[in-house]
Amino acid sequence: MTDQRPRVLAIANQKGGVGKTTTAINLGTALAAIDERVLIVDLDPQGNASTGLGIDHKSRKRSTYDVLTGQATFAATAMETAVPRLHIAPSTLDLSGLELEIANERDRAYRLRNALASLTRPARNATGKIVGDGYSYALVDCPPSLNLLTINAMAAADAILVPLQCEFFALEGLSQLLKTVEQVKTNLNPGLTIHGVVLTMYDVRNNLSDQVVADVRQFLGDKVYDTIIPRNVRVSEAPSYGKPVLLYDFKCVGSQAYLKLASEIVQRERALAAA
Ligand SMILES: Nc1ncnc2c1ncn2[C@@H]1O[C@H](COP(=O)(O)OP(=O)(O)O)[C@@H](O)[C@H]1O
Ligand SMILES: [Mg+2]
């Protein structure tokens, strides 16, 4: 089927610094590495996903602000990255004013959904290998807030991917996030699901980490991916070189964890498609 839009995953958590952007960049890269075609949608006015993929401010001719205000399509906005099959629609600071600008518009929560409707999934040959243009996944990097931008992401998404930092307060704030997901389901997007929760910045040297993992698994059950992303200095260094960690240091534990997460996600997707 080529007429379907890409699978849209919103990477959301209103807490800052939990690994949303890092996951968008590196999960996107890992999915592209296993032959998927991926569009990262930078929906954070800070533009960290764009910067982390080496897109400097000057080269952002069009942005997600232009897309959400109807001045540009995703096709015209998406830029290539150093990773084959990985594109990004960059963001600029204008995006921070969007909420006020469109507050009274009837379609304000559906701007992203409507813009994504023009994208298609690539064709696959008989062995399942991608042969055409388009995107098999769109990953939306959300801002650290439950504002209208995040609501747009949730209203547009097939499913939500929640990064949770392995720290004592990991579950704090999660109930507010889940409540928002329920509200979006009721009012805007009945098909929305939680794809999974990924534990990030796991620290082997910290005894608390294992307790946090156990608590989160007890609370969220099989919604938690098997893959845990370790705290790894290579992961945090890579963005300052404008590179995903998989290009910066393919062999490091952080890169390998994101590859594992990508294959786990593709497996969940296959199970869903077969069900
Ligand atoms: N696995 C990791 N190991 C080490 N540092 C990480 C890891 N994941 C994220 N970081 C660092 O933590 C900080 C916050 O991550 P980021 O992805 O920007 O969070 P968010 O987008 O949720 O605000 C960044 O400096 C990032 O480099
Ligand atoms: Mg971020």
pTM for the full model? 0.97
Tokens 């990773």, located at residue: 83
> What gap in Å lies between CA 161 and CA 139, rounded to an integer?
9
> What gap in Å lies between CA 159 and CA 9, rounded to an integer?
5
* Ligand 1 site, residue 19, Cβ cutoff 6 A: yes
> What gap in Å lies between CA 225 and CA 21, rounded to an integer?
18
Question: pLDDT exceeding 70 applies to what percent of the chain?
Answer: 99
Q: Using the predicted structure, report yes or no on whether residue 14 has a pLDDT greater than 60.
A: yes
Q: How far is the CA of 15 from the centre of ligand 2 (A)?
A: 9
Q: Which pLDDT score is estimated for 1?
A: 43
Average pLDDT over residues 127-150: 94
pLDDT tens, residue by residue, 74-105? 999 999 999 999 999 999 999 999 999 999 99
Minimum CA distance residue for ligand 1 atom 6 = 236
User: What value, to the nearest 5°, has the Cα angle with vertex 9 and ends 43 and 156?
Assistant: 70
Minimum CA distance residue for ligand 1 atom 11 = 236
Per the structure block, which two tokens stand in for 19? 């690994």
Closest atom of ligand 1 to 239 CA is 27
Q: What domains are defined for the chain? A: 7-274 (3.40.50.300)
From the CA of 14, the nearest ligand is 1
Q: Which pLDDT score is estimated for 274?
A: 84
pLDDT tens, residue by residue, 228-248? 999 999 999 999 999 999 999
Average pLDDT over residues 62-82: 98
Q: How far is the CA of 142 from the centre of ligand 2 (A)?
A: 7
CA nearest 152: which of 225, 65, 22? Answer: 65
Please name the residues in contact with 246: beta carbons below 8 A apart, sequence gap of 6 or more. Answer: 26, 29, 30, 33, 83, 255, 258, 259
Q: Using the predicted structure, report yes or no on whether residue 2 has a pLDDT greater than 60.
A: no
